[in-house]
Structure 1
């Protein structure tokens, strides 16, 4: 029974009063804004979850395209999965420089392994700025018609100016001559550090040598040609000093003792 002291508006109840209020009241404005945000967030979240498998497939395809490109065999007219079948993925144990069968190359995730304390180590000496390094990585072998190794594709990553650059370096069968370098993920400054994607700059890597005739690592990404000679030198990116330094550091880190040195020694000796 309604209180005789209530006004007609109070007797209606909160919901009825809210619905009867003018549309431009503060309460209705806030309600509509919150409702729109809630519905939009639900739609975006649902779309993100639904599209996640497709995003994973596209990310894998993009990675495979980059491997094909750095190896010099990418053909836009050819099916990516079919073309990528030419590669032989192997899980490499960095400490020994030999392949291991502890993991399935088809399901092994390099990034997850680098984050897992069981399959990675924290770096005290960390010129590449990666924090932790996986003990195992996926490498890709490309063989010729008779089954001999033609090229090896090695994953590399390290910090630039704003981001971690993820990419691949392709080496000839001698483990010293560079065929190409390519980054497939980074967030460097467009027009400056992002010029790591410039085909003209990437072409500078072809034919360069990692080490000198004595086996000393000499590869450099600098403004001036080092004493080791132009065969070990790639010109720095114009206006991108820190990104250039990052690329120099990450390439030397991964090609050095902390990275692929033992594997490259085995490759040169014909033990792979």
Structure 2
């Protein structure tokens, strides 16, 4: 007479299908196998997913830049390739430990934000991130274009935009408003190409380095002004404050000086 089967796996499989232990055990094994398969697939596919995200981000950036008046021709002339840099806004240099892939996680930490005092908070944001992702177009070793994301508190809510500066870090190449909630027909005109087309060629500072950029109350009358928007004074003022703040010492100012010194 054969003795009892000492193989636990065969003993388990020999249990009746109605057995609760067998049902729970099979469910556990199936879950474990699926978990291992999913984890393995995630590890194997991660490089492909990262590459795809990078390609999508590059395409999104280039599509956005091509929407800025005058940018499409410049991109074509320089090969159309932008490089991405995460800045430490405090120093103006490239961040040592934060990358485009880890930027979102870094900014989820309240410790990576700097509170702004009321007197210097031209943009009305209350605080600004310690890190920002910018995009650089190069001609040889020189930066020919810098694309700087910026934001401001507008009349009806936050306004987000990308300002393009030419290689001298003083001449505006273009402006693209990427998000706003301003009043239709008035402040919402900031997204109109006809208004944004007034920005290219506008200078930010005078020969002494003093900030002079302004949105005029009517038509621009100096090289440092762009036309105002009739009936939308508060929105126009918000755009002026946005540019002044982000190109100042609490924004991209240290980075602009670094580019001028040839450190990028």
Whether TM exceeds 0.5 here: the answer is yes
| Structure 1 residue ranges without an equivalent (≥5) | 1-56
Residue 164, structure 1, aligned to residue 158, structure 2: yes
Q: Secondary structure of the residue that 1:217 maps to in structure 2?
A: coil
- 1:70–1:180 contact (8 Å) kept in structure 2: yes
Query: Structure 1's 113 and 67: CA in aligned 2 closer, same or farther, altered over 3 A?
Result: farther
Whether 1:154 aligns to 2:154 is no
Q: 1:248 is matched with which residue?
A: 240
TM-score by length of 1: 0.68
The alignment covers a number of residue pairs equal to 205
1:23 maps to which residue?
none
Q: What is the Cα deviation at residue 204 of structure 1?
A: 0.7
Contact 1:71–1:153 (8 Å) recurs in 2: no
Question: Unaligned stretches of 5+ in structure 2?
Answer: 1-54
2:206 matches 1:212: yes
Match of 1:130 among 122, 125, 129: 125
What CA deviation, in whole Å up to 9, does each residue of 1:105-141 have, x standing for no partner? 24423xx755632110121232211122001100100
Partners of 2:157 and 2:59 in 1: how far apart?
22
* TM-score of the aligned structures, taking structure 2 as reference length: 0.70
Deviations 1:37-63 (A, max 9, x none): xxxxxxxxxxxxxxxxxxxx9999666
Task: Say yes or no: does 1:65 pair with 2:60.
Answer: no
Q: CA RMSD in A?
A: 2.8
Q: Distance in 1 between matches of 2:155 and 2:56?
A: 26
**5 Å matches for 1:25-64?**
none
Distance 1:246 1:206 in 2: 19
Q: 1:181 and 2:179 equivalent? A: no
Shift of 1:70: 2.9
Q: Distance in 1 between matches of 2:81 and 2:57?
A: 19
Shift in Å, 1:206: 0.3
Matches of 1:124 and 1:240, distance apart in 2: 27
The aligned residue for residue 103 of structure 1 is 98
* 1:71 CA drift (Å): 7.6
Instruction: Tell me if the contact between 2:218 and 2:229 (Cα under 8 Å) persists in the aligned partners.
Output: no
Does the 8 Å CA contact 2:163/2:176 hold for their aligned counterparts? yes
